[in-house]
Amino acid sequence: MKRVLLFLGTNLAIIVVASITLNLLGVGSFLDESGTNLNIQSLLIFCFIFGMAGSVISLLLSKKIAKWSMKVEIIDKPRNSSEEWLFRTIERQSKEAGIGMPEIGIFEAQQANAFATGSNRNKALVAVSSGMMQRFDKGEIEAVLGHEVGHVANGDMITLALIQGVVNTFVMFLARVIGFVVDRVILKNEQGLGIGYFITTIAAEIVLAILASTIVFWFSRRREFVADRDGARLGSRLGMINALQRLKAESQVPNQLPESMRAFGITGGKRSGFKALFMTHPPLEDRIAALQNMSD
């Protein structure tokens, strides 16, 4: 779950900071030669360039931020039989999935969780919590690792970045159109761009970015079902089902991962109603049912 929230948080911060900086520097007025109307074509090109840039930067930073925020201990050389098994399992799964060997790490958390991230499918990071290593059996851990390797092999983070880049483009574009309308129609500013434009643009950008993130969350939920099938294939279907059932049994325990990292985890908690639109993962019950109904 943490993969998406961390990516979104970084992306939003980059876009907001960039917008404020550009506005302060007077870049991005996008008025036509008369100074009274927006140049829609120039505005759209500008928003596309900066929207995609924010997404790409978030993607490139994803692995470093994950390591830092989760205090991941990278395993370069296994120090015991447990780490040796973990190393060999991911090595085998990576070969089967057709990707390069990812970095392997363990992070301290009693909650059972795991995540994968990175901008390059051949140089990714797969990390598992100490709590999962202690309480889950090898069949369950193997399936969870296969789930995470599946995310990497499917290029989910790269696809997510492309979707987010398009979302950023339209968020920045619509925010500036709204700012222009407020400045002209409500505040009656007839020449140039007034302070109302800049304030409204920044506020609209934040609100629209949060609402538009539901598109990214929807994509994330759909990809979880695919990654579960990969976990069943690279591990075992029984192991994946048992892992999800165990996670469901432990769901009453508070999520120990930081809010900014919850899109990276194997499970994302439970929400209902409008809040369900902001879930990065489908309900565990639905994921278990999908695996049970999966054809061999």
Q: Which of 142, 148, 205, 224 is catalytic?
A: 148
pLDDT digits (tens, 9 = 90+) for 13-48: 666 666 666 555 555 556 655 556 777 888 888 888
Identify the CA nearest to 247 among candidates 146, 139, 142, 132. 132
What single string gives the DSSP state of each residue in 184-251?
A: IIIS---SS--HHHHHHHHHHHHHHHHHHHHHHHHHHHHHHHHHHHHHHHHT-HHHHHHHHHHHHHTT
The pTM score is: 0.81
The mean pLDDT value for 267-273 works out to 55
List beta partners, residue 125: 103, 117
The domain ranges of the chain are: 2-66+157-198, 71-156+221-292
**DSSP code of residue 254:** P
* Listed range (2-6, 56-60, 107-111, 276-280) with the worst mean pLDDT: 2-6
What pLDDT sits at residue 260? 43
pLDDT bucket at 205, cuts 50 / 70 / 90: confident
pLDDT digits (tens, 9 = 90+) for 113-150: 999 998 999 999 999 999 999 999 999 999 999 999 99
What pLDDT sits at residue 35? 58
Active site residue 148: yes
* Listed range (10-24, 41-55, 98-112) with the worst mean pLDDT: 10-24
What pLDDT sits at residue 264? 43
pLDDT bucket at 198, cuts 50 / 70 / 90: confident
CA-derived radius of gyration, the chain: 22
Q: What is the CATH number of domain 71-156+221-292?
A: 3.30.2010.10
pLDDT of residue 151 exceeding 50: yes
The span from the CA of 39 to the CA of 61, in Å, is: 33
What pLDDT sits at residue 1? 47
Identify the CA nearest to 243 among candidates 142, 149, 152. 142
